[in-house]
Each structure stands twice: as structure tokens, then as C-alpha cells.
Structure 1
């Protein structure tokens, strides 16, 4: 049960902490996170040059995310798909944690939903 609940809790904590950042800095920060998320699997190289192609797509999405929360949300959903591929391949985000990509695939869509609402502060 924790396998499903903890990623949602982590996403909610992420949203609350991000809500403490004022706009427009919150949007810029999240765009940077999307760019970084695109490179999280590169060192594993499970999908060869596909890993680099995915990172390039994520950088482009992050750039568009500097002006649109929708692109940031789309970036989290793209990362969700990449998490699922890596989980099914048995190549988790954190090699010592077998379910790390699985958990990330649950966490990321929750963050994406928040982004699709405009990344509004939840603490005000």
C-alpha cells in the first residue's frame, strides 16, 4: 500500500514547498526541473541514443515551460512515460531502489495536474 501512497505524498509535499516560491520564479524553477528531469536516466543508457533524444525533447519542453505551465505539466507526463518504460525494462531511476521509477510514475502525474491548473500556490 505504501508503494502507491508515498509517491502521492511526495508529490503533495513537492507542491506545498513549490507554493512557497513566489511567481514568476515558481514557473521558472519548475521549467528548470523539467529540463533536469529529462537527463535523470542518461547515465543508465538503457535506451541508447533514445536517452539523449528524450533529454533534448525535455529541454525544448522546459524552454516552452518558461512561458506556459501547460508545457511544464506536459513535461511531467512525458517523464511519467519514460519512468514506465524504465520500470518495465527493470532499469529504475535509482538502481538500489527497485520501485523508484514506479514511484516516480505515480508522483509525476500528480505534479502535472497541479501544473495544468497554473501551478497556483496552495498555501495562500
Structure 2
């Protein structure tokens, strides 16, 4: 399995979420992590043990309505559930044996973004681009003055 593609999917997810303004971005992501908790309900392979995980993720998602940290924790819990399903359960996509493993690689990238407060990656990129241009201009002026 290619491990780069799931990381790219996580980054694209964060980029797309960056299009949503705060506080809606946090709330939307709380809903997403809650939904991720139910991803294996229709045949994950752990039978009734799927239900306590859904309940845990619902609680974490509820707390995530006001906390990026809880959303990040939710994605890491889902990562652990993905690994368990890859090793002993059924994959998240029944037609793709490694789908749960790919999800387990993608989710921590999203969790890291959440632990940083779910910042707009678009805004960060624009600031970095502007800073880089300003620095280059300052360097050019300093070089010209020498």
C-alpha cells in the first residue's frame, strides 16, 4: 500500500475544511468525527463491540463542538479503531482490503491539524507567501544598498 496517498488525502481534507469559517469549521469537524465513529457499524466485524465505540465517539464529538482537542482525540481514537479493523476486523470499504490501514494513516494527519486548532491552511499559506515576498524584497534592497 502507498502510504503517501492517505497523508495527501488528510491534507486535502484540511485544505477543504479551511474554506469553512470559524466557529463553523470546528463544529462541522465535530460532526465529521462523530460520523467517523459510526463508519464500521454495518459490518465492521466486532459485533456488539462496535456500539460502545460509537457511543464513545458521540461523546467525543459532542465535546468537540467546543474543543479542537477533543476532535483531535476523536481522530486518534478512530485511528486505533482502524488499526484494529485492519488486523482483526473487516475493512472500512469491503472492496478494499487495505482501506482501514489507509484510513489509519490519514486520520493522524487530520488529528495533528486539529491539535493545532484547525487553522485555515489557506490563510497560513497566504501569510507565508507574503512573508517570503517581503523577506525577498528586504534582501534585495539590502543587497542594492551595499
- TM-score bucket of the superposed structures, by smaller chain: over 0.9
Write the distance in 2 (CA, Å) between the matches of 1:71 and 1:119: 12
Distance in 2 (CA, whole Å) between partners of 1:4 and 1:45 is 22
- 4+ runs deviating over 3 angstroms: none
Structure showing greater radius of gyration is 2
Which consecutive unaligned segments of at least 5 residues does structure 2 have? Answer: 124-146
**How far is the alpha carbon of 1:45 from its aligned partner?**
4.2
Q: Which residue pairs with 2:26 in the alignment? A: 27
Q: Secondary structure at the match of 1:98?
A: coil
Greater displacement, 89-98 / 60-69: 89-98
Which deviations, in whole Å up to 9, do the C-alpha atoms of 1:35-86 show, x marking residues without a partner? 1001000111411211011000000000000010000000000000000000
Output the aligned Cα RMSD.
0.9
Q: How many residues align?
A: 123
Greater helix content = 2
How far has the Cα of 1:96 moved from its partner?
0.2
Quote the Cα distance in structure 2 between the aligned partners of 1:90 and 1:120: 34
2:110 is equivalent to residue 102 of structure 1: no
Aligned to 2:71: 72
Specify the alignment match of 1:43 in structure 2.
42
Q: Distance in 2 between matches of 1:90 and 1:13?
A: 27
Matches of 1:45 and 1:3, distance apart in 2: 23
- Greater shift, 83-92 or 60-69, is seen at 83-92
State which drifts further: 45-54 or 30-39: 45-54
